[in-house]
Chains A and B, each alone.
Chain A
Protein backbone atom coordinates (compact mmCIF):
# COMPACT_ATOMS: atom_id res chain seq x y z
CA UNK A 1 0.00 0.00 0.00
CA UNK A 2 1.29 3.45 -0.85
CA UNK A 3 2.08 5.67 2.10
CA UNK A 4 0.24 8.61 0.63
CA UNK A 5 -2.30 8.71 -2.17
CA UNK A 6 -3.62 12.01 -3.48
CA UNK A 7 -6.36 11.72 -6.10
CA UNK A 8 -7.75 14.58 -8.20
CA UNK A 9 -7.52 17.01 -5.31
CA UNK A 10 -8.81 20.56 -5.69
CA UNK A 11 -9.03 23.43 -3.26
CA UNK A 12 -11.13 26.47 -3.90
CA UNK A 13 -11.48 29.64 -1.83
CA UNK A 14 -14.46 31.45 -3.29
CA UNK A 15 -13.75 31.61 -7.01
CA UNK A 16 -10.01 31.29 -6.49
CA UNK A 17 -8.62 27.81 -7.18
CA UNK A 18 -5.52 27.35 -5.04
CA UNK A 19 -4.87 23.69 -5.80
CA UNK A 20 -5.85 22.32 -9.21
CA UNK A 21 -6.52 18.66 -9.80
CA UNK A 22 -3.45 17.15 -8.21
CA UNK A 23 -2.84 13.40 -8.17
CA UNK A 24 0.23 12.01 -6.47
CA UNK A 25 1.37 8.73 -4.99
CA UNK A 26 4.26 8.41 -2.56
CA UNK A 27 5.65 5.07 -1.36
CA UNK A 28 6.98 4.16 2.08
CA UNK A 29 10.56 5.29 2.61
CA UNK A 30 10.47 7.69 -0.31
CA UNK A 31 11.87 11.22 0.10
CA UNK A 32 9.99 13.77 -1.96
CA UNK A 33 10.77 17.45 -2.41
CA UNK A 34 7.77 19.68 -2.99
CA UNK A 35 8.90 22.84 -4.76
CA UNK A 36 7.10 25.92 -5.94
CA UNK A 37 7.11 29.69 -5.65
CA UNK A 38 5.30 31.50 -2.85
CA UNK A 39 1.58 31.01 -3.25
CA UNK A 40 1.93 28.00 -5.55
CA UNK A 41 -0.30 25.98 -3.22
CA UNK A 42 2.33 23.88 -1.43
CA UNK A 43 1.29 24.71 2.11
CA UNK A 44 -2.41 24.32 1.29
CA UNK A 45 -1.71 20.90 -0.24
CA UNK A 46 0.25 19.81 2.84
CA UNK A 47 -2.50 21.07 5.14
CA UNK A 48 -5.04 19.08 3.16
CA UNK A 49 -2.83 16.00 3.49
CA UNK A 50 -3.06 16.44 7.27
CA UNK A 51 -6.78 17.10 7.33
CA UNK A 52 -6.24 20.64 8.64
CA UNK A 53 -7.98 22.23 5.67
CA UNK A 54 -11.08 20.67 4.08
CA UNK A 55 -10.60 19.33 0.55
CA UNK A 56 -12.94 20.93 -2.02
CA UNK A 57 -12.97 17.81 -4.21
CA UNK A 58 -10.90 14.64 -4.53
CA UNK A 59 -9.50 12.30 -1.89
CA UNK A 60 -6.31 11.88 0.12
CA UNK A 61 -5.43 8.81 2.16
CA UNK A 62 -2.54 7.93 4.43
CA UNK A 63 -1.78 4.19 4.48
CA UNK A 64 -5.46 3.62 3.72
CA UNK A 65 -6.69 5.89 6.51
CA UNK A 66 -8.75 9.01 5.83
CA UNK A 67 -6.64 12.09 6.51
CA UNK A 68 -7.53 13.93 9.71
CA UNK A 69 -8.83 10.77 11.42
CA UNK A 70 -7.31 9.84 14.76
CA UNK A 71 -5.53 6.84 13.21
CA UNK A 72 -4.03 8.98 10.45
CA UNK A 73 -2.93 11.59 12.97
CA UNK A 74 -1.10 8.96 14.98
CA UNK A 75 0.70 7.81 11.82
CA UNK A 76 1.99 11.23 10.80
CA UNK A 77 4.40 13.88 11.98
CA UNK A 78 4.22 17.50 10.85
CA UNK A 79 6.37 20.59 11.06
CA UNK A 80 4.47 23.77 10.13
CA UNK A 81 6.12 26.69 8.38
CA UNK A 82 7.55 29.29 10.80
CA UNK A 83 6.38 27.55 13.95
CA UNK A 84 6.92 29.48 17.19
CA UNK A 85 6.21 27.71 20.44
CA UNK A 86 5.10 29.50 23.58
CA UNK A 87 8.15 31.39 24.82
CA UNK A 88 7.57 30.74 28.50
CA UNK A 89 7.86 26.95 28.23
CA UNK A 90 11.14 25.08 28.20
CA UNK A 91 12.01 22.78 25.33
CA UNK A 92 11.56 19.78 27.59
CA UNK A 93 8.12 20.87 28.84
CA UNK A 94 6.88 21.52 25.32
CA UNK A 95 8.11 18.12 24.13
CA UNK A 96 6.65 16.30 27.13
CA UNK A 97 3.29 17.86 26.31
CA UNK A 98 3.41 16.63 22.73
CA UNK A 99 4.62 13.22 23.85
CA UNK A 100 1.70 12.94 26.28
CA UNK A 101 -0.75 13.74 23.48
CA UNK A 102 0.60 10.79 21.51
CA UNK A 103 0.91 8.61 24.65
CA UNK A 104 4.68 8.40 24.39
CA UNK A 105 7.09 8.08 27.34
CA UNK A 106 8.81 11.27 28.49
CA UNK A 107 12.16 9.55 28.23
CA UNK A 108 11.65 8.98 24.51
CA UNK A 109 10.85 12.68 24.10
CA UNK A 110 14.10 13.61 25.86
CA UNK A 111 16.04 11.24 23.64
CA UNK A 112 14.64 12.82 20.49
CA UNK A 113 15.53 16.30 21.76
CA UNK A 114 19.04 15.01 22.25
CA UNK A 115 19.03 13.52 18.75
CA UNK A 116 18.23 16.90 17.17
CA UNK A 117 21.04 18.50 19.16
CA UNK A 118 19.15 20.39 21.84
CA UNK A 119 20.42 18.59 24.94
CA UNK A 120 22.35 21.68 26.11
CA UNK A 121 19.26 23.92 26.06
CA UNK A 122 16.62 21.42 27.08
CA UNK A 123 15.65 23.24 30.30
CA UNK A 124 15.89 26.76 28.93
CA UNK A 125 12.78 28.66 27.93
CA UNK A 126 11.95 28.54 24.25
CA UNK A 127 11.74 32.34 24.31
CA UNK A 128 15.53 32.40 24.60
CA UNK A 129 16.06 30.01 21.66
CA UNK A 130 17.42 31.07 18.27
CA UNK A 131 15.31 30.47 15.17
CA UNK A 132 17.35 27.39 14.34
CA UNK A 133 16.81 25.96 17.82
CA UNK A 134 13.06 26.52 17.63
CA UNK A 135 13.11 24.78 14.29
CA UNK A 136 14.80 21.81 15.96
CA UNK A 137 12.08 21.60 18.59
CA UNK A 138 9.65 21.57 15.68
CA UNK A 139 11.54 18.77 13.99
CA UNK A 140 11.82 16.84 17.25
CA UNK A 141 8.06 16.84 17.84
CA UNK A 142 7.49 15.68 14.24
CA UNK A 143 9.63 12.63 15.00
CA UNK A 144 7.64 11.61 18.09
CA UNK A 145 6.06 8.18 17.99
CA UNK A 146 7.98 6.85 14.98
CA UNK A 147 5.61 8.26 12.36
CA UNK A 148 5.13 6.46 9.04
CA UNK A 149 4.74 9.76 7.22
CA UNK A 150 6.58 12.97 7.95
CA UNK A 151 5.50 16.23 6.31
CA UNK A 152 7.87 19.15 6.77
CA UNK A 153 7.05 22.68 5.59
CA UNK A 154 10.23 24.73 5.07
CA UNK A 155 12.16 22.74 7.67
CA UNK A 156 15.65 24.11 7.05
CA UNK A 157 14.87 27.83 7.13
CA UNK A 158 16.95 29.37 9.90
CA UNK A 159 19.32 26.43 10.18
CA UNK A 160 23.05 26.97 9.74
CA UNK A 161 24.98 24.74 7.28
CA UNK A 162 26.10 22.25 9.95
CA UNK A 163 22.58 21.93 11.32
CA UNK A 164 21.28 21.42 7.80
CA UNK A 165 23.70 18.58 7.37
CA UNK A 166 22.49 17.00 10.64
CA UNK A 167 18.94 17.56 9.50
CA UNK A 168 19.40 15.60 6.27
CA UNK A 169 21.13 12.83 8.20
CA UNK A 170 18.00 12.49 10.31
CA UNK A 171 15.86 12.46 7.16
CA UNK A 172 18.01 9.72 5.71
CA UNK A 173 17.65 7.67 8.89
CA UNK A 174 13.89 8.10 8.74
CA UNK A 175 13.54 7.03 5.15
CA UNK A 176 15.90 4.13 5.78
CA UNK A 177 13.42 3.00 8.44
CA UNK A 178 10.58 3.07 5.91
CA UNK A 179 9.14 6.49 6.74
CA UNK A 180 7.86 8.58 3.88
CA UNK A 181 9.26 12.11 3.99
CA UNK A 182 7.75 15.06 2.14
CA UNK A 183 9.67 18.33 2.35
CA UNK A 184 8.51 21.63 0.97
CA UNK A 185 11.35 24.05 0.51
CA UNK A 186 12.96 26.90 -1.38
CA UNK A 187 16.45 25.68 -0.65
CA UNK A 188 16.91 24.03 -4.03
CA UNK A 189 20.63 23.27 -3.95
CA UNK A 190 20.40 21.14 -0.82
CA UNK A 191 17.43 19.17 -2.13
CA UNK A 192 19.22 18.26 -5.36
CA UNK A 193 21.20 15.34 -3.99
CA UNK A 194 19.17 14.47 -0.92
CA UNK A 195 15.75 13.68 -2.34
CA UNK A 196 14.46 10.71 -4.33
CA UNK A 197 11.84 12.60 -6.24
CA UNK A 198 11.00 16.18 -7.15
CA UNK A 199 7.46 17.54 -7.37
CA UNK A 200 7.07 21.07 -8.69
CA UNK A 201 3.91 23.11 -8.26
CA UNK A 202 3.10 26.26 -10.17
CA UNK A 203 -0.12 28.24 -9.76
CA UNK A 204 -1.81 25.35 -7.98
CA UNK A 205 -0.91 22.84 -10.68
CA UNK A 206 1.61 20.04 -10.54
CA UNK A 207 4.02 20.75 -13.41
CA UNK A 208 6.66 18.11 -12.64
CA UNK A 209 6.78 14.86 -10.69
CA UNK A 210 9.78 12.63 -11.31
CA UNK A 211 13.36 11.73 -10.37
CA UNK A 212 15.77 14.57 -11.04
CA UNK A 213 17.61 12.63 -13.78
CA UNK A 214 14.38 12.14 -15.69
CA UNK A 215 13.41 15.76 -15.26
CA UNK A 216 16.79 16.73 -16.70
CA UNK A 217 16.35 14.45 -19.66
CA UNK A 218 12.88 15.69 -20.41
CA UNK A 219 13.75 19.36 -20.04
CA UNK A 220 16.82 18.87 -22.26
CA UNK A 221 18.44 22.00 -20.92
CA UNK A 222 21.91 22.87 -22.26
CA UNK A 223 24.93 21.56 -20.41
CA UNK A 224 27.37 24.23 -19.30
CA UNK A 225 31.08 23.71 -19.95
CA UNK A 226 33.69 26.04 -18.48
CA UNK A 227 37.22 25.89 -19.84
CA UNK A 228 40.04 27.43 -17.85
CA UNK A 229 43.14 28.61 -19.73
CA UNK A 230 45.68 31.45 -19.77
CA UNK A 231 44.67 34.70 -21.42
CA UNK A 232 46.18 34.14 -24.84
CA UNK A 233 44.83 30.62 -25.23
CA UNK A 234 41.43 31.65 -23.90
CA UNK A 235 40.99 34.05 -26.78
CA UNK A 236 41.88 31.29 -29.25
CA UNK A 237 39.63 28.71 -27.62
CA UNK A 238 36.71 31.11 -27.53
CA UNK A 239 37.20 31.76 -31.23
CA UNK A 240 37.52 28.15 -32.39
CA UNK A 241 34.65 26.81 -30.28
CA UNK A 242 32.55 30.00 -30.59
CA UNK A 243 32.26 30.27 -26.82
CA UNK A 244 31.95 33.28 -24.56
CA UNK A 245 34.81 34.62 -22.40
CA UNK A 246 33.46 35.43 -18.95
CA UNK A 247 36.73 36.71 -17.56
CA UNK A 248 40.27 36.66 -18.81
CA UNK A 249 40.75 32.98 -18.02
CA UNK A 250 37.43 31.26 -18.51
CA UNK A 251 35.52 30.37 -21.67
CA UNK A 252 31.88 29.34 -21.28
CA UNK A 253 30.15 26.97 -23.71
CA UNK A 254 26.65 25.51 -23.82
CA UNK A 255 25.63 22.34 -25.60
CA UNK A 256 22.80 19.82 -25.68
CA UNK A 257 23.19 16.32 -24.31
CA UNK A 258 23.68 14.73 -27.74
CA UNK A 259 26.43 17.17 -28.78
CA UNK A 260 28.35 16.74 -25.56
CA UNK A 261 30.77 13.99 -26.64
CA UNK A 262 31.68 15.68 -29.96
CA UNK A 263 32.32 18.96 -28.24
CA UNK A 264 34.49 17.33 -25.60
CA UNK A 265 36.53 15.71 -28.39
CA UNK A 266 37.14 19.09 -29.97
CA UNK A 267 38.11 20.50 -26.61
CA UNK A 268 40.55 17.69 -25.91
CA UNK A 269 42.26 18.46 -29.23
CA UNK A 270 43.44 21.66 -27.59
CA UNK A 271 44.41 20.04 -24.33
CA UNK A 272 47.90 21.62 -24.24
CA UNK A 273 46.32 25.07 -23.97
CA UNK A 274 43.77 24.14 -21.29
CA UNK A 275 44.49 24.19 -17.57
CA UNK A 276 41.14 22.83 -16.33
CA UNK A 277 37.60 22.00 -17.41
CA UNK A 278 34.30 22.01 -15.57
CA UNK A 279 31.12 20.34 -16.85
CA UNK A 280 27.81 21.00 -15.16
CA UNK A 281 24.42 19.54 -16.11
CA UNK A 282 21.35 21.70 -15.50
CA UNK A 283 21.03 22.36 -11.78
CA UNK A 284 17.78 21.87 -9.89
CA UNK A 285 17.46 25.63 -9.84
CA UNK A 286 17.53 25.79 -13.65
CA UNK A 287 15.15 22.85 -13.90
CA UNK A 288 12.85 24.51 -11.42
CA UNK A 289 12.84 27.69 -13.47
CA UNK A 290 12.15 25.69 -16.61
CA UNK A 291 9.22 23.73 -15.19
CA UNK A 292 7.60 26.52 -13.23
CA UNK A 293 7.78 29.04 -16.07
CA UNK A 294 4.34 30.31 -17.10
CA UNK A 295 2.97 28.13 -19.87
CA UNK A 296 1.39 29.43 -23.08
CA UNK A 297 -1.11 26.62 -23.26
CA UNK A 298 -2.55 25.34 -20.05
CA UNK A 299 -1.71 21.73 -19.36
CA UNK A 300 1.04 21.56 -21.95
CA UNK A 301 3.50 20.02 -19.52
CA UNK A 302 0.99 18.36 -17.29
CA UNK A 303 1.98 14.76 -17.90
CA UNK A 304 5.68 15.00 -17.29
Chain B
Protein backbone atom coordinates (compact mmCIF):
# COMPACT_ATOMS: atom_id res chain seq x y z
CA UNK B 1 0.00 0.00 0.00
CA UNK B 2 2.73 2.47 0.95
CA UNK B 3 4.65 1.46 -2.15
CA UNK B 4 1.68 2.47 -4.28
CA UNK B 5 1.39 5.76 -2.38
CA UNK B 6 5.10 6.43 -2.83
CA UNK B 7 4.89 5.93 -6.58
CA UNK B 8 1.76 8.06 -6.88
CA UNK B 9 3.45 10.89 -4.98
CA UNK B 10 6.40 10.70 -7.33
CA UNK B 11 4.02 10.95 -10.28
CA UNK B 12 2.09 13.83 -8.68
CA UNK B 13 5.31 15.72 -8.01
CA UNK B 14 6.01 15.76 -11.75
CA UNK B 15 2.43 16.35 -12.79
CA UNK B 16 2.12 19.81 -14.27
CA UNK B 17 -1.59 19.85 -13.58
CA UNK B 18 -1.03 19.31 -9.86
CA UNK B 19 1.50 22.14 -9.78
CA UNK B 20 -0.91 24.50 -11.55
CA UNK B 21 -3.76 23.60 -9.20
CA UNK B 22 -1.68 24.17 -6.09
CA UNK B 23 -0.45 27.50 -7.45
CA UNK B 24 -4.00 28.56 -8.27
CA UNK B 25 -5.24 27.59 -4.83
CA UNK B 26 -2.46 29.57 -3.15
CA UNK B 27 -2.96 32.59 -5.42
CA UNK B 28 -6.71 32.73 -4.84
CA UNK B 29 -6.38 32.58 -1.07
CA UNK B 30 -3.67 35.22 -1.24
CA UNK B 31 -5.97 37.57 -3.11
CA UNK B 32 -8.87 36.86 -0.77
CA UNK B 33 -6.76 37.45 2.33
CA UNK B 34 -5.41 40.73 0.99
CA UNK B 35 -8.77 41.96 -0.24
CA UNK B 36 -10.53 40.91 2.94
CA UNK B 37 -8.08 42.65 5.24
CA UNK B 38 -9.00 46.19 4.12
CA UNK B 39 -12.25 46.86 6.01
CA UNK B 40 -11.50 45.03 9.24
CA UNK B 41 -10.05 47.91 11.17
CA UNK B 42 -13.33 49.73 11.58
CA UNK B 43 -15.44 46.65 12.13
CA UNK B 44 -13.26 45.30 14.87
CA UNK B 45 -13.65 41.70 13.73
CA UNK B 46 -10.81 39.21 13.97
CA UNK B 47 -9.13 39.40 10.51
CA UNK B 48 -8.62 35.65 10.56
CA UNK B 49 -12.37 35.08 10.72
CA UNK B 50 -12.88 37.27 7.70
CA UNK B 51 -10.13 35.53 5.77
CA UNK B 52 -11.42 32.09 6.77
CA UNK B 53 -14.94 33.00 5.68
CA UNK B 54 -13.87 34.12 2.23
CA UNK B 55 -11.54 31.16 1.83
CA UNK B 56 -14.38 28.83 2.80
CA UNK B 57 -16.48 30.23 -0.02
CA UNK B 58 -13.64 29.58 -2.42
CA UNK B 59 -12.77 26.13 -1.06
CA UNK B 60 -16.32 24.87 -1.43
CA UNK B 61 -15.84 25.11 -5.19
CA UNK B 62 -12.14 24.61 -5.57
CA UNK B 63 -11.29 21.71 -3.24
CA UNK B 64 -13.86 19.29 -4.76
CA UNK B 65 -12.72 20.26 -8.24
CA UNK B 66 -9.07 19.68 -7.35
CA UNK B 67 -9.91 16.32 -5.76
CA UNK B 68 -11.89 15.16 -8.79
CA UNK B 69 -9.17 16.27 -11.19
CA UNK B 70 -6.63 14.29 -9.21
CA UNK B 71 -8.73 11.15 -8.99
CA UNK B 72 -10.66 10.67 -12.25
CA UNK B 73 -7.61 9.20 -14.00
CA UNK B 74 -6.55 6.95 -11.11
CA UNK B 75 -8.12 3.72 -12.35
CA UNK B 76 -9.35 4.43 -15.89
CA UNK B 77 -5.88 5.76 -16.79
CA UNK B 78 -4.26 2.58 -15.56
CA UNK B 79 -6.74 0.45 -17.49
CA UNK B 80 -5.96 2.39 -20.64
CA UNK B 81 -2.20 2.15 -20.19
CA UNK B 82 -2.46 -1.55 -19.36
CA UNK B 83 -0.65 -1.11 -16.06
CA UNK B 84 -3.66 -2.12 -13.97
CA UNK B 85 -3.53 -5.67 -15.35
CA UNK B 86 0.14 -5.68 -14.49
CA UNK B 87 -0.26 -4.31 -10.97
CA UNK B 88 -2.91 -6.92 -10.24
CA UNK B 89 -0.52 -9.76 -11.08
CA UNK B 90 1.74 -8.57 -8.26
CA UNK B 91 1.08 -9.70 -4.69
CA UNK B 92 -1.12 -6.67 -4.00
CA UNK B 93 -4.84 -6.45 -3.30
CA UNK B 94 -7.23 -4.06 -5.00
CA UNK B 95 -7.98 -2.40 -1.67
CA UNK B 96 -4.27 -1.72 -1.23
CA UNK B 97 -4.00 -0.17 -4.70
CA UNK B 98 -7.03 2.05 -4.07
CA UNK B 99 -5.96 3.09 -0.59
CA UNK B 100 -2.38 3.72 -1.69
CA UNK B 101 -3.57 6.11 -4.36
CA UNK B 102 -5.95 7.73 -1.88
CA UNK B 103 -3.18 8.33 0.65
CA UNK B 104 -0.90 9.93 -1.94
CA UNK B 105 -3.55 12.21 -3.36
CA UNK B 106 -4.69 13.16 0.13
CA UNK B 107 -1.14 14.31 0.78
CA UNK B 108 -1.25 16.40 -2.41
CA UNK B 109 -4.50 18.01 -1.25
CA UNK B 110 -3.10 18.63 2.22
CA UNK B 111 -0.05 20.33 0.74
CA UNK B 112 -2.17 22.58 -1.49
CA UNK B 113 -4.58 23.56 1.29
CA UNK B 114 -1.86 23.77 3.94
CA UNK B 115 0.32 26.07 1.84
CA UNK B 116 -2.58 28.35 1.07
CA UNK B 117 -3.69 28.62 4.68
CA UNK B 118 -0.16 29.05 5.99
CA UNK B 119 0.25 31.98 3.64
CA UNK B 120 -3.03 33.43 4.87
CA UNK B 121 -1.84 33.22 8.47
CA UNK B 122 1.48 34.89 7.67
CA UNK B 123 -0.10 37.71 5.67
CA UNK B 124 -2.73 38.35 8.34
CA UNK B 125 0.00 38.56 10.97
CA UNK B 126 2.03 40.99 8.89
CA UNK B 127 -0.90 43.23 7.98
CA UNK B 128 -2.49 43.38 11.42
CA UNK B 129 0.34 43.85 13.85
CA UNK B 130 -0.84 44.29 17.39
CA UNK B 131 -4.36 43.04 16.67
CA UNK B 132 -5.25 39.97 18.71
CA UNK B 133 -6.38 37.06 16.60
CA UNK B 134 -7.07 33.38 16.93
CA UNK B 135 -5.85 30.88 14.36
CA UNK B 136 -8.35 28.23 15.33
CA UNK B 137 -10.67 28.98 12.35
CA UNK B 138 -7.75 28.33 9.97
CA UNK B 139 -6.81 25.03 11.60
CA UNK B 140 -10.45 24.00 11.57
CA UNK B 141 -10.70 25.06 7.93
CA UNK B 142 -7.62 22.97 7.12
CA UNK B 143 -9.01 19.76 8.54
CA UNK B 144 -12.52 20.16 7.17
CA UNK B 145 -11.12 21.03 3.71
CA UNK B 146 -9.16 17.78 3.75
CA UNK B 147 -12.30 15.86 4.69
CA UNK B 148 -14.18 17.59 1.87
CA UNK B 149 -11.38 16.77 -0.57
CA UNK B 150 -11.27 13.15 0.63
CA UNK B 151 -15.01 12.77 -0.04
CA UNK B 152 -14.56 13.86 -3.63
CA UNK B 153 -11.41 11.77 -4.11
CA UNK B 154 -13.51 8.70 -3.31
CA UNK B 155 -16.24 9.80 -5.73
CA UNK B 156 -13.57 10.37 -8.39
CA UNK B 157 -12.22 6.83 -7.94
CA UNK B 158 -15.72 5.44 -8.19
CA UNK B 159 -16.30 7.20 -11.51
CA UNK B 160 -12.84 6.19 -12.68
CA UNK B 161 -13.55 2.51 -12.00
CA UNK B 162 -17.05 2.73 -13.45
CA UNK B 163 -15.94 3.71 -16.96
CA UNK B 164 -12.87 2.42 -18.74
CA UNK B 165 -11.85 5.58 -20.61
CA UNK B 166 -10.21 8.50 -18.80
CA UNK B 167 -11.96 10.98 -21.12
CA UNK B 168 -15.40 9.69 -20.14
CA UNK B 169 -14.34 9.60 -16.49
CA UNK B 170 -13.29 13.24 -16.62
CA UNK B 171 -16.66 14.22 -18.08
CA UNK B 172 -18.53 12.32 -15.36
CA UNK B 173 -16.31 13.89 -12.69
CA UNK B 174 -17.30 17.36 -13.90
CA UNK B 175 -20.97 16.32 -13.81
CA UNK B 176 -20.58 15.18 -10.19
CA UNK B 177 -18.94 18.48 -9.31
CA UNK B 178 -21.69 20.48 -11.02
CA UNK B 179 -24.47 18.51 -9.35
CA UNK B 180 -23.12 18.34 -5.80
CA UNK B 181 -21.46 21.73 -5.58
CA UNK B 182 -23.65 23.99 -7.69
CA UNK B 183 -26.95 22.49 -8.88
CA UNK B 184 -27.75 20.94 -5.49
CA UNK B 185 -27.78 24.36 -3.81
CA UNK B 186 -29.76 25.94 -6.62
CA UNK B 187 -32.30 23.12 -6.37
CA UNK B 188 -32.59 23.59 -2.60
CA UNK B 189 -32.98 27.32 -3.03
CA UNK B 190 -35.75 26.78 -5.56
CA UNK B 191 -37.52 24.39 -3.20
CA UNK B 192 -37.18 26.87 -0.34
CA UNK B 193 -38.77 29.61 -2.38
CA UNK B 194 -41.59 27.34 -3.50
CA UNK B 195 -42.21 26.02 0.02
CA UNK B 196 -42.31 29.50 1.53
CA UNK B 197 -41.33 28.57 5.08
CA UNK B 198 -43.45 25.44 5.38
CA UNK B 199 -42.68 21.85 6.45
CA UNK B 200 -39.89 21.39 3.92
CA UNK B 201 -38.00 24.47 5.10
CA UNK B 202 -38.16 23.51 8.75
CA UNK B 203 -37.80 19.73 8.71
CA UNK B 204 -36.26 18.47 5.48
CA UNK B 205 -34.13 21.29 4.17
CA UNK B 206 -31.59 21.32 7.05
CA UNK B 207 -30.98 17.60 6.68
CA UNK B 208 -30.58 17.86 2.94
CA UNK B 209 -28.04 20.60 3.56
CA UNK B 210 -26.12 18.48 6.06
CA UNK B 211 -26.24 15.49 3.71
CA UNK B 212 -24.26 17.25 0.98
CA UNK B 213 -20.54 17.30 1.88
CA UNK B 214 -20.00 20.71 0.30
CA UNK B 215 -22.84 22.28 2.29
CA UNK B 216 -21.81 20.49 5.48
CA UNK B 217 -18.35 21.96 4.97
CA UNK B 218 -19.80 25.43 4.48
CA UNK B 219 -21.97 25.13 7.59
CA UNK B 220 -18.99 24.08 9.66
CA UNK B 221 -16.82 26.99 8.60
CA UNK B 222 -19.27 29.87 8.59
CA UNK B 223 -19.04 31.75 11.89
CA UNK B 224 -21.95 31.59 14.34
CA UNK B 225 -24.94 33.74 13.60
CA UNK B 226 -24.98 35.38 17.02
CA UNK B 227 -21.57 37.01 16.96
CA UNK B 228 -21.10 37.40 13.28
CA UNK B 229 -21.49 40.49 11.18
CA UNK B 230 -21.02 38.60 7.95
CA UNK B 231 -23.67 35.99 8.39
CA UNK B 232 -25.31 34.76 5.23
CA UNK B 233 -28.62 33.15 4.55
CA UNK B 234 -27.14 29.81 5.46
CA UNK B 235 -27.09 30.87 9.07
CA UNK B 236 -30.79 30.22 9.30
CA UNK B 237 -30.29 26.56 8.60
CA UNK B 238 -27.40 26.38 10.96
CA UNK B 239 -29.50 27.41 13.92
CA UNK B 240 -31.82 24.54 13.17
CA UNK B 241 -29.21 21.91 12.52
CA UNK B 242 -26.60 21.20 15.08
CA UNK B 243 -22.98 21.49 13.98
CA UNK B 244 -22.33 17.97 15.11
CA UNK B 245 -24.44 16.52 12.28
CA UNK B 246 -22.51 18.45 9.68
CA UNK B 247 -19.31 17.16 11.17
CA UNK B 248 -20.54 13.56 11.19
CA UNK B 249 -21.65 13.98 7.57
CA UNK B 250 -18.22 15.26 6.59
CA UNK B 251 -16.54 12.41 8.46
CA UNK B 252 -18.75 9.75 6.89
CA UNK B 253 -18.50 10.94 3.30
CA UNK B 254 -14.86 9.96 2.69
CA UNK B 255 -15.48 6.50 4.17
CA UNK B 256 -18.67 5.95 2.18
CA UNK B 257 -17.28 7.24 -1.11
CA UNK B 258 -14.14 5.12 -0.74
CA UNK B 259 -16.26 2.08 0.05
CA UNK B 260 -18.38 2.70 -3.06
CA UNK B 261 -15.22 3.13 -5.13
CA UNK B 262 -13.87 -0.16 -3.80
CA UNK B 263 -17.12 -1.99 -4.53
CA UNK B 264 -17.02 -0.81 -8.14
CA UNK B 265 -13.26 -1.37 -8.48
CA UNK B 266 -13.59 -4.96 -7.21
CA UNK B 267 -15.64 -5.88 -10.29
CA UNK B 268 -13.32 -4.26 -12.84
CA UNK B 269 -11.76 -6.72 -15.31
CA UNK B 270 -8.48 -5.14 -16.42
Please pick, from A54, A74, A86, the residue contacting B81 in the complex, using a CB distance under 8 A: A86
CA distance A136 to B108 in the complex (A): 32
What's the tally of chain A residues with a CB closer than 8 Å to chain B? 29
CB-based A-B contact count at 8 angstroms: 63
Residues of A within 8 A of B (CB): 47, 50-54, 70, 73-74, 76-78, 80-86, 88-89, 93, 97-98, 100-102, 138, 141
B139 at the interface (CB under 8 A from A): no
CB-CB nearest 6 A-B residue pairs: A88-B14, A83-B82, A101-B90, A84-B81, A78-B89, A80-B82
B203 at the interface (CB under 8 A from A): no
Q: Nearest CB to that of B81 among chain A residues?
A: A84
How many of chain B's residues touch chain A, expressed as a range?
20 to 34
Say whether A97 contacts B89, CB under 8 Å.
no
Say whether B90 contacts A93, CB under 8 Å.
no
- Complex interface: stretch among B4-12, B156-164, B185-193, B240-248: B4-12
Pairs A–B under 8 Å by Cβ, sample size 11: A50-B85, A52-B85, A78-B85, A82-B82, A84-B83, A86-B11, A88-B11, A89-B11, A97-B3, A98-B90, A101-B92
CB-CB < 8 A to A74: which residues of B?
91
CB-CB < 8 A to B91: which residues of A?
70, 73-74, 101-102
CA distance A2 to B82 in the complex (A): 29
The smallest C-beta distance from A279 to any residue of chain B, in angstroms, reads: 43
CB-CB < 8 A to B87: which residues of A?
101
CB-CB < 8 A to B86: which residues of A?
78, 80, 83, 138, 141
B88 at the interface (CB under 8 A from A): yes
CB-CB < 8 A to A78: which residues of B?
85-86, 89
CA distance A55 to B129 in the complex (A): 70
CB-CB < 8 A to B7: which residues of A?
89, 93, 97
CB-CB < 8 A to B270: which residues of A?
47, 52
